[in-house]
């Protein structure tokens, strides 16, 4: 019997499984674990799984197996996207479909294992079963793809994430992996590839939505002795964790996408710019590169085609601005990550002065499927102006946090209320933040707008960041805007004046209105009002004059939030109150005389001695002294303290 | 190709490929700039030069946008003015309000912009960054709180001088410009050339002040205060008093210095003559023995520091002769003190230089012997102007006077030390005369003259000795030449290196701003003096000959001559 590597290379990749061959099919079935003799246990070990306790669960499983003397294969997989249900453990008994269990911490897992090996499935923990031909399905257990979280999704980019072993190239190849790349180098010229991508109407997922095929074509046609392709995986905005999932859970897909792109733009050098904090991703990506080299899928003269490719991992220090393409180029060149003037655009003169294509990780992960299924298949998905799917990271006050991939054209209503199954604790939704810190807020009434480059642009947002952050009625819009402005002010590179000074001033002005200095002088009050008066004009000018995308979009959150929530800003400014109680310094606590028992607990906790009262009699808070820290509120056992 | 574009509803002519800014400037429309630097690629950092282009969503920086035929531009529309105003106001919101106590009061670009844009109140409130000034360098002071981060100093240091001693550090509002590892600048690779001072729009960079010390000595009756001034000072000082560049006011300068109360006034051109003679003999000696070639000039202290820190292996190739400033210092404290029976300790020796690196040179360990420092204080041209103003001297309306003997005459060769290429020209004049034992008829070497040349080269043959010389200014060009030599080029025997582009006339101590046209005029003034002067050879300077006869040659131990030679040592820096 030939070795796996030989088998996969010769029988699967090169022959491209054209003619039906029983032996090949049988062996593939075995490698796909469709005819296994022993139980297989899959553990979700993405970062989210590990944080939720997957490591302890693994130990518990091993202990259980050795105690009961059961032989089973344990496979570590990535994340399927439903991060809230982690740690997720799948169990596949011989001949049966794969069964997925949620919230498998070290205690639950033992019960579940006990159950399944004794023909008793604990329904409370069941997520669902995977549909697989040739395997017997479980009765009375829903299929995973019929769950609401999955049924509305169309998973192309995150296709096998959380299902296959990210550290095994074999798993990837037997699941149709590297097919597209081998097809590319055997059957297409670089021009063909550019044309196919152009025809698929794939637009860059990095923000501006530039047609990917066109970008490749420009670099392809620019005369030069060297070109570069860079995969931008410097995901640094709060609430966005898509690149992390892509690299952690299915790194080979990204490598395949990069390899096809490199072939398309005729380059032998590709860089991937990964954020340094993505440690697990970097480790898995390194393993994946080594494996791909072993299979001859990277390196020199790939599959005797004369095409060479080297993928270099460049670890990003993690600055937000380094996601901007010219800053990213400077950073790879070893310089300070500061944006440069465009033109010249990187596709003409980029890294080390050579034509460079910079694509987002998500964009590149679309490529293999387009090559496999053809451009027409791809552009049949989505809307007129936006084809394909879009991946989002759902977070904030939403029930199902995680990564989802939806076809373009779906409404935010469906995303939030169907896939995300609504707001946590059944509260009312206030806004969703789309596009990261420099994105826009969409209010409840506007949730019917659809995911589409142009529709979002009309609404002041862009599809640059994958983050959708859900805020419920308890959140304070001023505090939120302040948070984003502080983030952007810290992340500004400091090159151009409006961005460096302007964003910081906007942050300071907002910070001032969410604070109540104890003995404010009259000129300080005046300064505060003066600042408020400047906010809108400042926002406009920062947008109008900044050098790069960071500055140009920095004021977006403010502009959109003041459009919908002017009243809330005014409350902070004139009434000096924050109704949601988030702005701590504006809170004024009061004691309900009827409820207060005079237990004397709160005066002891008050850091400024603002609470007076005799034991066993209701206490009183001196408003002028109170700093709104909330220590008394947290101490009171009788719910006698409330925010006015 | 020339075409029309519409600017402020009027048609103007623009050339294909030029930027909007250049088209506007040529047509008499002024757009303010801050980060813009002539001859360098625009960075678009300051956004002051934005204009409105019809059809473009955002305002466009005119310094980098190429003009196109369809363009309709508004340079001073309300939207543009509001944007510019806000940008300057944002800068001011983080700028200390101490204009009256600022080095650059009255000559500050930020001040000018604020006046131009009619900013009369602090509209944008905010906390100011607290940053400490770095006074560690013996040449310059960095005051980051006045820095507006236009990045001009960073660029001049990296792209023109080629040292990269400073760069941006930290992010966002905390961003500032600092030397490597955020350590004091005296530990960095800074070569003290002061080109950063010349481009700084505000008072964030300025020379280390030697005036207070000098004033104290001037007022001390026990001190014998002697001053020397560099060849270039007489042709650039006038600019400080609002005269056109290139006016030589040597006589008035002497008279002003005398009025201030300096006991003696000497010219560094005199010691430059000595330097030329000595370097010429040193060169002949080295050519004969074939050792330590090519020989490098050592009169630029920035270049000397650069060699010491970056190419310590080339230290033996430096000419061992002291620079004119230090030769003069040595002569004042020894020869002059002896002949006039003054205790050297009572002499306070001051020099006026177009340079801030000379302040560094004066305090080098090697420049003090037996407890006596060669030069006690170094003023820049700018500081001298301040002193003249302080003493209320109307320099433009006083009679001309001569400098003092015995160190006050000069040949025009000594004067040539002020321009890039001039040092070599003077040395070659002495070199030829020495070998041929008579002076050449054609004293002018046009190959070594002119501004904005990356490198000047010249070859000659005198009595069977072939000599190739090269002249470079700034470290980028020097580095290129060094690479050629490392790769085996051996037809160059003498190399003159100046840190500042075009030499001392564009030095870091000269009047600000030093525009390109000004540099040309300053250079022309020096060449005009060479044309007019009757003594054109260093060894024809009668007082120089006297010193050789009475001081250097009489001394059998050679101690006197050795005192104008020095040593250089390897220097460790933080790179």
Q: In terms of CA atoms, which chain A residue is nearest residue B85?
A: A541
Q: How confident is the model at residue A17 (pLDDT cuts 50, 70, 90)?
A: low
Which is nearest to B32 in space by CA: B166, B201, B250? B201
pLDDT attached to residue A10: 78
DSSP tally for chain A: helices H, then strands E: 27, 18
> In this model, does residue A588 exceed pLDDT 60?
yes
pLDDT, tens digit (0-9, with 9 covering 90-100), for B199-234: 999 999 999 999 999 999 999 999 999 999 999 999
Q: What is the pLDDT of residue B359?
A: 96
Least-confidence region, from A521-525, B190-194, B383-387:
A521-525
Determine whether the interchain pair A491/B171 forms a contact, defined as Cβ–Cβ distance below 8 Å. Answer: yes
User: Contacts of residue A504 in chain B, CB cutoff 8 Å?
Assistant: 126, 172-173
CA distance A487 to chain B (A): 10
Measured distance CA(A147)–CA(A142) in Å, rounded: 7
**Whole-number Å distance between alpha carbons of B494 and B483:** 15
CATH number of B2-76: 3.10.20.740
**pLDDT more than 70, % of chain B:** 100
Contact at CB, A527 and B125, closer than 8 angstroms: yes
DSSP letter string, A538-560 = HHHHHHHH-SSHHHHHHTHHHHH
Q: Pairing state of beta strands A467-472 and A389-396?
A: parallel
Secondary structure tally for chain B: helices H, strands E: 20, 19
pLDDT given at position A16: 60
* B461, pLDDT greater than 70: yes
| Cβ B497 vs Cβ B296: under 8 Å | yes
For tokens 């404010």, name the residue: A520
The pLDDT tens digits of the residues spanning A410-453 come to 999 999 999 999 999 999 999 999 888 888 889 999 899 999 98
- The answer to whether the CB of A406 falls within 8 A of the CB of A419 is yes
- CB-based contact A437:A237 (threshold 8 Å): yes
pLDDT at site B369: 85
Query: Taking CA B200 as the corner, what is the angle to CA B516 and CA A491, rounded to the nearest 5 degrees?
Result: 130
Q: Is the peptide bond before A344 cis (omega within 30 degrees of 0)?
A: yes
Looking at the predicted structure, is the pLDDT value of residue A20 above 80?
no
Instruction: Please state the three-class secondary structure of B214-273 as a single string.
Output: HHHHHCCCCCEEEEEECCCHHHHHHHHCCCCCCCCCHHHHHHHHHHHCCCEEEEHHHHHH
Q: What are the b/e assignments for B65-104, b being 16+ CB within 10 Å?
A: bebeeebebbbeeebbeebbbbbbbbbbbbbbeebeebbb
Q: Is A556:A481 a contact under the CB 8 Å cutoff?
A: no
Read off the pLDDT of each residue in A254-260 and give the average, rounded to a whole number.
96
pLDDT at position A18: 52
* The two three-digit tokens of residue B42, written as one number: 């625009």
Q: Do B47 and A494 count as a contact with CB atoms less than 8 A apart?
A: no
Pick the CATH number of B212-562 from 3.40.190.10, 3.30.460.80, 3.40.50.1780, 3.40.50.360: 3.40.50.1780
pLDDT band at A528; cut points 50, 70, 90: confident
Q: Which two tokens stand for residue A446?
A: 């506007």
Query: What would the pLDDT profile of B373-393 be if each residue is shown by its tens digit?
Result: 999 999 999 999 999 999 999
Query: Given pLDDT bands bounded at 50, 70 and 90, which one contains residue A642?
Result: confident
Cβ contact, residue pair A501, B82, below 8 Å: no
* pLDDT, position B39: 86
Task: ipTM value, please give it.
Answer: 0.90
- Sorted by where each begins, the domain ranges of chain B are 2-76, 91-207, 212-562
- Give the chain B residue whose CA is nearest to the CA of A508: B126
Whether the CB-CB separation of A644 and A588 falls below 8 Å is answered with yes
Asked if CATH classification 3.30.70.20 holds for the domain at B91-207, the reply, yes or no, is: yes
Q: Which A positions 522-541 lie with beta carbon below 8 A of chain B?
A: 527-528, 530-531, 534, 537-538, 541
Chain B residues whose beta carbon lies within 8 Å of the beta carbon of residue A340: 43
Contact yes or no for A211/A203 (Cβ under 8 A): yes
Side by side, the strands of the sheet bearing A126-129 are A73-77, A40-44, A89-92, A98-101, A126-129
Query: How far apart are the CA of B126 and the nearest CA of chain A, in angstroms?
Result: 6
Instruction: For residue B419, name the pLDDT band (cuts at 50, 70, 90).
Output: very high
* Closest residue to A502, CB basis, from B58, B90, B149: B90
For the cut 80, the answer to whether the pLDDT of residue A463 exceeds it is no
Mean pLDDT of chain A: 90
In the numeric block, which tokens belong to residue B288?
């004969």
CB atoms closer than 10 angstroms to residue A381: 16
Residue A544 touches chain B, beta carbons under 8 Å: yes
The stretch B435-449 carries a mean pLDDT of 88
Average pLDDT over residues B106-127: 93
Residue B322 to residue B358: CA distance in whole angstroms: 12
**Exposure letters B133-167 (e unless 16+ CB within 10 A, then b):** ebebbbbbbbbbbbbbbbbbbbbbbbebbbbbbbb
Nearest Cα of chain B lies from the Cα of A608 at a distance, in angstroms, of 27
Query: Distance between CA atoms of B129 and B96, rounded to whole angstroms?
Result: 9
CA-CA distance, A73 to A91, in Å (whole number)?
Answer: 10
Q: What are phi and psi for residue B128, nearest 5 degrees?
A: -95, 145
d(CA A37, CA B484): 72
H helices of B332-438, where? 337-339, 357-362, 381-390, 412-415, 422-436
- Write down the pTM of the prediction: 0.91
B573 HSE (CA, 13 A, CB side): 25
A485 touches chain B (CB under 8 A): no
Return the minimum-mean-pLDDT range out of A109-118, A275-284, A335-344, A584-593: A584-593
Look at the block and give the residue holding tokens 């002088």: A521
**Measured CA angle at B139 (ends B137, B142), to 5 deg:** 60
Q: What is the pLDDT of residues A150-175, one digit of tens each?
A: 999 999 999 899 999 999 999 999 88
The alpha-carbon gap from B182 to the nearest alpha carbon of chain A, in Å, equals: 15
Q: What is the DSSP string of A277-300?
A: T-HHHHHHHHHHHHHHHHTTSSBS
- Show which residues on chain B lie within 8 Å of chain A, measured between beta carbons: 42-48, 50, 58-59, 61, 64, 79, 82-83, 86-87, 90-91, 93-94, 123-127, 148-149, 151, 167-168, 170-175
Instruction: From chain B, pick out residues whose CB is under 8 angstroms from the CB of A336.
Output: 167-168
Write out pLDDT tens, residues A225-243: 999 999 999 988 888 899 9
Longest dimension (CA), chain A: 91
Rounded to whole angstroms, the maximal C-alpha distance in chain B is 83
**The token pair that represents A74 in the structure block:** 């344990």
B80, B172, B176: best to mutate for the A interface, most A CBs within 10 A: B172
Kindly list the residues from chain A whose CB atom is less than 8 angstroms away from the CB atom of residue B91: 497, 501
Interface test with A, best of B34, B124, B201 (most A CBs within 10 A): B124
Pick the range with the lowest mean pLDDT from A7-16, A541-550, B430-439. A7-16
Chain A neighbors of B170, CB-CB under 8 A? 494
Share of chain A above pLDDT 70, in %: 99
Residues A215, A357: Cα–Cα separation, whole Å: 7
């Amino acid at each position: 019997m030939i070795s796996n590597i030989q088998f996969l290379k010769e029988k699967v990749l090169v022959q491209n499984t054209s003619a039906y061959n029983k032996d090949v099919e049988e062996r593939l079935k075995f490698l796909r674990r469709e005819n296994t003799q022993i139980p297989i246990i899959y553990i979700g070990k993405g970062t989210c799984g590990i944080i939720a306790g997957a490591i302890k669960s693994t130990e518990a499983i091993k202990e259980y197996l050795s105690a009961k003397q059961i032989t089973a294969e344990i496979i570590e997989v990535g994340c399927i996207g439903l991060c809230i249900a982690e740690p997720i453990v799948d169990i596949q008994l011989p001949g049966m479909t794969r069964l997925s269990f949620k919230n498998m911490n070290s205690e639950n897992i033992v019960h579940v294992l006990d159950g399944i090996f004794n023909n008793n499935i604990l329904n409370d923990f069941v997520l669902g079963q995977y549909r697989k031909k040739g395997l017997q399905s479980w009765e009375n257990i829903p299929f995973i793809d019929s769950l609401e979280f999955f049924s509305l999704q169309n998973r192309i980019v995150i296709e096998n994430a959380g299902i296959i072993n990210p550290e095994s190239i074999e798993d990837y190849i037997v699941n149709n992996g590297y097919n597209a790349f081998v097809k590319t180098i055997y059957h297409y010229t670089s021009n063909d590839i550019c044309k196919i991508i152009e025809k698929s109407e794939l637009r860059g997922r990095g923000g501006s939505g530039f047609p990917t095929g066109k970008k490749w074509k420009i670099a392809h046609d620019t005369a030069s002795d060297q070109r570069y392709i860079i995969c931008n995986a410097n995901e640094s905005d709060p609430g966005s964790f898509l690149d992390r999932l892509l690299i952690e859970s299915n790194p080979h897909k990204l490598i395949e996408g990069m390899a096809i792109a490199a072939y398309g733009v005729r380059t032998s050098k590709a860089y991937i710019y990964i954020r340094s904090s993505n440690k697990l991703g970097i480790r898995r990506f390194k393993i994946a590169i080594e494996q791909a080299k072993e299979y001859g899928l990277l390196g020199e003269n790939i599959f005797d085609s004369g095409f060479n490719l080297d993928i270099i991992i460049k670890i990003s220090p993690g600055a937000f601005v380094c996601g901007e393409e010219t800053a990213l180029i400077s950073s790879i060149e070893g310089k300070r990550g500061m944006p440069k003037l465009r033109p010249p655009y990187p596709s003409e003169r980029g890294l080390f002065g050579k034509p460079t294509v910079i694509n987002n990780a998500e964009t590149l992960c679309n490529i293999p499927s387009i090559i496999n299924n053809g451009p027409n298949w791809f552009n049949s998905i989505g809307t007129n102006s936006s084809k394909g799917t879009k991946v989002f990271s759902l977070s904030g006050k939403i029930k199902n946090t995680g990564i989802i991939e939806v076809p373009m054209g779906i409404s935010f209503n469906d995303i939030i209320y169907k896939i995300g199954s609504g707001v946590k604790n059944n509260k009312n939704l206030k806004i969703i933040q789309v596009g990261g810190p420099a994105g826009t807020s969409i209010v409840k009434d506007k949730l019917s707008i659809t995911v589409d480059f142009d529709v979002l642009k009309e609404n002041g947002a862009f599809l640059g960041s994958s983050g959708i952050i859900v805020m419920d009625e308890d959140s304070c819009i001023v505090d939120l805007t302040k948070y984003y402005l502080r983030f952007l002010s810290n992340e500004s590179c400091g090159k151009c004046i409006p961005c460096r000074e302007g964003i910081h001033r906007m942050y300071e002005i907002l910070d001032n209105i969410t604070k109540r200095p104890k003995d404010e002088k009259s000129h300080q009050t005046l300064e505060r009002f003066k600042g408020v008066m400047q906010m809108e004009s400042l926002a406009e000018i920062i947008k109008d004059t900044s050098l790069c995308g960071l500055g140009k979009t920095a004021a977006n959150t403010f502009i959109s939030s003041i459009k919908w929530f002017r009243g809330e800003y005014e409350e902070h400014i004139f009434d000096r109150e924050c109704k949601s109680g988030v702005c701590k310094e504006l809170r004024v606590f009061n004691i309900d005389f009827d409820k207060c028992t005079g237990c004397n607990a709160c005066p002891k906790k008050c850091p400024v001695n603002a609470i007076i009262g005799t034991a066993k009699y209701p206490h009183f808070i001196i408003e002028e002294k109170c700093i709104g820290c909330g220590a008394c509120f947290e101490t009171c056992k009788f719910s006698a303290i409330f925010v006015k | 190709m020339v075409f029309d574009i519409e600017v402020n509803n009027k048609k103007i002519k623009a050339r294909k490929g030029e930027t909007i800014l250049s088209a506007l400037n040529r047509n008499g429309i002024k757009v303010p700039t801050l980060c813009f630097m002539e001859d360098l690629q625009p960075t678009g950092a300051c956004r002051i030069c934005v204009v409105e282009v019809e059809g473009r969503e955002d305002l466009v920086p005119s310094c980098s946008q190429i003009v196109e035929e369809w363009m309709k531009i508004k340079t001073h529309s309300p939207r543009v003015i509001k944007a510019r105003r806000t940008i300057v106001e944002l800068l001011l919101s983080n700028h200390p309000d101490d204009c009256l106590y600022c080095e650059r009061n009255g000559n500050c670009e930020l001040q000018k912009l604020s006046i131009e844009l009619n900013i009369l109140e602090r509209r944008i409130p905010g906390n100011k960054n607290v940053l400490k000034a770095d006074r560690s360098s013996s040449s310059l002071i960095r005051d980051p709180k006045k820095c507006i981060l236009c990045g001009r100093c960073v660029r001049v240091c990296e792209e023109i001088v080629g040292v990269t001693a400073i760069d941006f550090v930290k992010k966002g509002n905390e961003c500032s410009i600092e030397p490597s590892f955020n350590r004091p600048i005296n530990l960095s690779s800074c070569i003290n050339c002061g080109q950063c001072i010349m481009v700084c729009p505000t008072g964030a960079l300025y020379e280390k002040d030697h005036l207070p010390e000098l004033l104290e000595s001037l007022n001390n009756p026990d001190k014998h205060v002697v001053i020397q001034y560099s060849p270039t000072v007489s042709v650039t000082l006038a600019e400080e008093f609002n005269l056109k560049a290139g006016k030589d006011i040597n006589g008035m300068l002497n008279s002003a210095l005398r009025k201030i109360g300096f006991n003696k006034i000497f010219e560094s051109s005199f010691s430059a003559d000595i330097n030329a003679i000595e370097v010429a003999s040193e060169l002949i000696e080295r050519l004969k023995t074939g050792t330590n070639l090519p020989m490098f000039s050592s009169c630029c202290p920035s270049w000397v520091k650069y060699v010491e820190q970056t190419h310590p292996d080339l230290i033996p190739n430096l000419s061992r002769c002291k620079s004119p400033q230090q030769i003069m210092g040595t002569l004042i404290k020894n020869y002059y003190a002896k002949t006039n029976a003054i205790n050297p300790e009572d002499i306070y020796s001051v020099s006026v230089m177009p340079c801030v690196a000379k302040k560094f040179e004066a305090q080098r360990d090697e420049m003090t012997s037996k407890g006596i420092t060669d030069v006690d204080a170094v003023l820049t041209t700018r500081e001298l102007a301040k002193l003249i103003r302080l003493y209320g001297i109307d320099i433009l309306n006083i009679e001309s006077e001569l400098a003092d003997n015995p160190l006050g005459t000069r040949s025009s060769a000594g004067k040539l030390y002020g321009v890039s290429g001039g040092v070599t020209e003077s040395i070659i004049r002495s070199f030829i005369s020495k070998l041929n034992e008579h002076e050449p008829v054609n004293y002018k070497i046009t190959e070594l003259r002119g501004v904005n040349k990356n490198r000047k080269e010249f070859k000659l043959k005198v009595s069977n000795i072939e000599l190739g010389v090269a002249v470079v200014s700034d470290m980028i060009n020097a580095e290129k030449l060094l690479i050629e030599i490392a790769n085996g080029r051996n037809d160059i025997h003498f190399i003159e290196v100046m840190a500042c582009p075009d030499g001392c006339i564009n030095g870091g101590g000269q009047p600000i701003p030093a525009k390109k046209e000004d540099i040309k005029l300053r250079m022309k003034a020096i060449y005009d003096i060479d044309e007019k002067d009757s003594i054109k050879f260093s060894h024809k300077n009668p007082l120089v000959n006297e010193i050789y006869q009475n001081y250097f040659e009489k001394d059998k131990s050679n101690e006197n001559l050795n005192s104008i030679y020095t040593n250089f040592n390897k220097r460790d820096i933080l790179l």
